[in-house]
């Protein structure tokens, strides 16, 4: 019984460590959006699309490369904020590698 209780507690702690905060950037200034990402390392930003009414957009935004997984790179992105149409932030993007494309030296 003690083993089961200990395992349940460890699972709960691990789940809390994986929790990520969610924010609406359109209710925050651009500086506050950037400061929140810097403070927490990674957050989910969710907002409504300007082009398609009613369509929610969201993604995971990160402070640095260390929050990206292997095979991803930190890339600049932009989100709307309360005071800016395009607030600069960063996302992790998977790197596409074409293993079949080879460089063939050109003959002169």
User: Residues 60-87: pLDDT tens digits?
Assistant: 999 999 999 999 999 999 999 999 999 9
The rounded percent of the chain whose pLDDT value lies above 70 is 72
Average pLDDT over residues 40-57: 95
| Residue 9 or residue 21, greater confidence | 21
Distance CA 34, CA 52 (A): 25
Average pLDDT over residues 32-54: 96
Sign of CA dihedral 96, 98, 99, 104: negative
Fill in the DSSP letter of residue 107. P
Average pLDDT over residues 42-51: 95
Give the other-Cβ count within 10 Å of 33's Cβ. 27
Computed on alpha carbons and rounded to an integer, the radius of gyration of the chain in Å comes to 20
- Identify the band that residue 19 occupies on the pLDDT scale cut at 50, 70 and 90: confident
Bridge partners of residue 74, in order along the sequence? 92
Sign of CA dihedral 74, 80, 82, 83: positive
């Amino acid at each position: 019984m003690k083993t089961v209780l200990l395992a349940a507690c460890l699972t709960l702690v691990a789940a809390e460590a994986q929790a990520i905060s969610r924010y609406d950037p359109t209710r925050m200034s651009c500086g506050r959006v950037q400061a929140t990402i810097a403070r927490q390392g990674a957050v989910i930003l969710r907002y409504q699309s300007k082009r398609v009414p009613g369509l929610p957009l969201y993604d995971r935004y990160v402070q640095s490369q260390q929050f990206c997984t292997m095979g991803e790179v930190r890339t600049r992105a932009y989100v709307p904020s309360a005071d800016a149409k395009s607030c600069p932030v960063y996302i992790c993007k998977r790197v596409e590698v074409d293993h079949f494309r080879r460089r063939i030296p050109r003959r002169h």
